[in-house]
């Protein structure tokens, strides 16, 4: 097990009606920037509920609306400007991971004397941020309890992750009932995203991180158990609750700290989204089985076999057969059980023309991963997924 | 899944050499009270190392030494007095859970205008505490990352747990090499303690807390895997590291929040320690299988069977047989694999004379547990364990 520092300062208020805790924002000032996406929080009443609570608490609300599914730096800049114009003291995101990611970089941008894009490409410049709060409405990214944010500049086909201790939310409200109205396609994509976070942490070569691997398996079992239930019964409370809590744990350090994982499927997918603006979770679901097949080898077979036995309950005694079956199960889960696209063609990526340049950009992030990937490896994985 | 608030503010610096982070205490003032037990931290060099780091950081150290394995209120009072006399600004525990528990109540007592015993029997009186830091030298109680403390008054045969948000340590150093020198008997007792914490959270009837149950199984598998390795090879880094980190997670809220568990084996054991001053982990190892047999019924068999299949890898299809075998395995693990006492007689409790009065005191804490226990139930369990 590698050395690590574990630090999860976010207070999580989990369960029905926990939005009442928004009154606590008054402890941080009287002027908040509310970030949200489209109109879904207005349709389902969360917007009105939050505004009423904040008004009663004496917190004046300014709004940054229209945050995109792959949030744009242009929107972040607009948020930073609102912060400066209105002497904003804290940022509240109501939405999914994209909205929270946007709010995080707005909060850091408000404390940075320069263009917010600097903070996306140079995380070390993030020194301070306004206090960040969130009300989660989609189980997927884990942004509600972690230090990360992913921002895109589509004018340049750039999508990068950044991070900073001060980007960890102060408090997040996780009410599973707020995800009852998430459509099937987003439920599936969210489940694929949280599974990918767990995989990225799980598939690391240091087998001394035993407890982290067992906890990652616990999360994967939960996601595989409840993903289909949430699809079939969108208002099943326990399904939504378990997916929500598992997603937060997948990326808050619990399964990653001590393993020193370097992620690789995410960097590969970020290029797909940067060039084609596809749904992140769908890109991950397409790439993951192709990546697994590419990296399966004598060196990695034992871990894939452990994955097959401990997560899928496979009982074979031969590692290679169990490993291959585990990859088949993974692909079938995404495509057949969760009804997700199986190939890049199905999400509109029909030719190879950008593969070389995308692979070149992704390769930097994949150097230190479980199995280090070169540009050529990544092109091969993209082709296999086409 | 029940509503809950998850809040783990403690920064954990985990791994070799992390004691260097004690320099961070200087951010909290210049006068610290150091709490420790016997001389082991002097023999193994941790004491000198810590004092040297603190001196260089400009932190003056006052000492509360001789903290007992079941820490006494008299020692806590001595610590509070030292805080008042020396204008202490923070408390640093170096030791196992007993030392950290003592330090916690000293830290709260220093901010309380009355006798510290009040804080033990009335947790709601704990409103504030000096900042608490710890360097862990024994994997067992999880006190390094939780809100709890257990203090005894042996003059009255009283041993009670207390808790408070402000008792959560600000920062804890978890260096697995510091546990290399823990003797076999304490290693076994510590493993039984962390397993019991996990059991107390795991055996709750709300089966909607699926992810918590799977994570609890992950912790139990880790403890069962590495406990014997740590006994056989006291300086096996990965064994000590995995036990240490699993113990912290067993009680920091990760597996308990959302399950609403009410513990019962701990209250029963606290009476054993209060009346006979036995080793806490040994008491738990003796009581746990007896308790499991007592509460196994048609209502609980499914969860015991899940425990058998998911933790012990049992493959039977009949729940009752799997459940019974799981209890047998649990007892054998403690007695045969970990070489712990199997009966109360073996730890010097040779008659029933105190069972009625002990059971009466413990019954209050067992009312809301997985299977509520009456005074008579508890007497029966004590007898079965005799």
Domains and CATH numbers, chain B: 11-178 (3.40.50.1970), 184-385 (1.20.1090.10)
Supply the pLDDT for residue A46. 97
Is A373 an interface residue toward B (CB < 8 Å)?
no
Considering only CB atoms, B12 lies closest to which of A5, A13, A17, namely: A5
Write the pLDDT tens digit of every residue in A324-364.
Answer: 999 999 999 999 999 999 999 999 999 999 999 999 999 98
Q: What is the mean pLDDT of residues B152-165?
A: 93
Which of B11, B218, B246 best tests the A interface by mutation, with the highest count of A CBs <10 A?
B218
CA atoms of B138 and B148, how far apart (whole Å): 16
What pLDDT score was predicted for residue A366?
Answer: 81
ipTM exceeding 0.90? yes
**Residue B47 · residue B41 · CB < 8 Å:** yes
Nearest CA in chain A to B165: A11
Burial of B109 (0-12, 13-18, 19+ CB in 10 A): buried
> Rounded mean pLDDT of chain A?
96
State in Å, rounded, how far the first CA of chain A is from the last one: 37
Predicted confidence at residue B337, as pLDDT, reads: 98
Eight-class DSSP state of A335? I
Helix/strand/coil for B89: coil
- State the distance between the two ends of chain B, measured CA to CA, in whole angstroms: 37
Backbone phi and psi for residue A66, each to the nearest 5 degrees, phi listed first: 80, 25
Residue B38: pLDDT band by 50, 70, 90 thresholds? confident
Asked if residue B75 has pLDDT above 80, the reply is yes
Residue in A3, A12, A210 nearest the CB of B238: A210
Q: Give the integer Cα–Cα distance in Å for B196 and B182.
A: 20
Q: What angle do CA B31, B34, B39 make, to 5 degrees?
A: 150
Instruction: Quote the minimal CA–CA distance from A121 to chain B in Å.
Output: 27
* Distance (Å, whole) CA B267 – CA B361: 9
- pLDDT category, B205, cuts 50, 70, 90? confident
> Two tokens at B258?
């959302």
Nearest to A218 among B7, B211, B241 (CB): B211
Span B236-258, average pLDDT: 97
Q: What is the pLDDT of residue B206?
A: 75
> Does residue A182 surpass a pLDDT of 80?
yes
Our CA angle for A144, A150, A152, nearest 5°, is 145
Count of beta carbons in the 10 Å neighbourhood of residue A195: 27
CA torsion through residues A93, B215, B163, B303, sign: positive
Whether B59 contacts B26, CB under 8 Å: yes
pLDDT band at B144 (very low <50, low <70, confident <90, very high): very high
User: Of the ranges A130-134, A322-326, B172-176, B363-367, which one carries the lowest mean pLDDT score?
Assistant: B363-367
CA distance B169 to chain A (A): 12
Chain A residues whose beta carbon lies within 8 Å of the beta carbon of residue B211 = 218-219, 222, 242, 245-246, 249
Q: What is the mean pLDDT of residues B377-383?
A: 97
pLDDT digits (tens, 9 = 90+) for B275-296: 999 999 999 999 999 999 999 9
Q: How far apart are CA A218 and CA A264, in angstroms?
A: 22
Question: Which string of DSSP letters, residue by residue, matches B75-144?
Answer: HHHHHHHHHHHHT--EEEEEESHHHHHHHHHHHHHTT-SS-THHHHH-GGG------EEEEE-SSSS-GG
Task: Please give the average per-residue pLDDT across B252-269, as a whole number.
Answer: 90
CB A142 within 8 A of CB A191: no
pLDDT of amino acid B164: 97
Mean pLDDT of B251-274: 91
Judged by a CB distance cut-off of 8 A, whether residue A12 touches chain B is yes
Specify the pairing of strand B4-14 against strand B60-64: unpaired
pLDDT, mean of residues A299-311: 96
**pLDDT-based confidence at residue B330 (cuts at 50, 70, 90):** very high
Which pairing describes strands A171-174 and A4-14: parallel, antiparallel, or unpaired?
parallel
**Residues of A whose CB is below 8 A from B241:** 1, 208, 258
Tell whether the model's pLDDT for residue A3 goes beyond 90.
Answer: yes
- Condensed to tens digits (0 to 9), the pLDDT of residues A135-180 reads 999 999 999 999 999 999 999 999 999 999 999 999 999 999 999 9
Three-state helix/strand/coil letters over A234-274:
CCCHHHHHHHHHHHHHCCCCCCCCCCCCCCCHHHHHHHHHH
In terms of phi and psi (left: phi > 0; alpha: psi -120 to 50; beta: otherwise), the region of A160 is: beta
The per-residue pLDDT for B355 is 97
Q: Please determine, for residue A285, whether its predicted confidence score (pLDDT) is greater than 90.
A: yes
A368 shares contact with chain B (CB less than 8 Å):
no
Query: Which pLDDT belongs to residue A101?
Result: 98
- Whether chain B has a CB inside 8 Å of the CB on A249: the answer is yes
For the segment A65-116, what is each residue's pLDDT rounded down to a tens digit?
999 998 999 999 999 999 999 999 999 999 999 999 999 999 999 999 999 9
């Amino acid at each position: 097990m590698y050395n690590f520092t574990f630090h999860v300062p976010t207070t999580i208020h989990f369960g029905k009606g926990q939005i009442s805790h928004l009154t606590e924002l008054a402890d941080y000032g009287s002027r908040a920037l509310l970030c949200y996406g489209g109109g879904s929080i207005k349709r389902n009443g969360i917007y009105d509920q939050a505004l009423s609570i904040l008004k009663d608490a004496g917190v004046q609300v300014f709004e940054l609306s229209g945050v995109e599914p792959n949030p744009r730096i242009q929107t972040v800049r607009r948020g930073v400007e609102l912060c400066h114009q209105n002497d904003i003291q804290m940022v509240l995101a109501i939405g999914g991971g994209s909205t929270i990611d946007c709010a995080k970089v707005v909060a850091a941008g408000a404390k940075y004397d320069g263009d917010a894009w600097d903070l996306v490409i140079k995380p070390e410049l993030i020194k301070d941020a306004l206090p960040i709060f969130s009300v989660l409405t989609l189980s997927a990214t884990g942004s509600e309890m972690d230090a990360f944010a992913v921002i895109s500049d589509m004018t340049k086909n750039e999508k990068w992750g950044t991070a900073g201790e001060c980007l960890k939310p102060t408090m997040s409200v996780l009410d599973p009932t707020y995800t009852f109205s998430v459509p099937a396609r987003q439920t599936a994509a969210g489940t694929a995203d949280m599974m990918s976070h767990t995989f990225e942490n799980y598939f690391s070569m240091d087998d001394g991180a035993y407890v982290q691997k067992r906890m990652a398996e616990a999360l994967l079992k939960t996601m595989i158990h409840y993903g289909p239930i949430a699809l079939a019964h969108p208002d099943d409370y326990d399904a939504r609750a378990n997916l929500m809590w598992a997603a937060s744990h997948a990326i808050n350090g619990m399964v990653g700290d001590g393993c020193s994982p370097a992620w690789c499927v995410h960097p590969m997918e970020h290029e797909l989204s940067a060039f084609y603006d596809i749904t992140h979770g769908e890109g991950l679901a397409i790439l993951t089985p192709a990546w697994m097949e590419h990296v399966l080898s004598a060196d990695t077979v034992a871990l894939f076999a452990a994955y097959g036995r401990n997560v899928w309950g496979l009982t074979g005694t031969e590692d290679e057969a169990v490993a291959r079956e585990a990859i088949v199960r993974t692909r079938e889960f995404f495509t057949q059980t969760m009804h997700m696209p199986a190939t890049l063609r199905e999400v509109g990526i029909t030719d190879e023309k950008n593969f070389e340049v995308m692979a070149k950009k992704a390769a930097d992030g994949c150097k230190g991963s479980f199995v280090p990937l070169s540009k050529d490896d990544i092109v091969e994985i993209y082709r296999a997924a086409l």
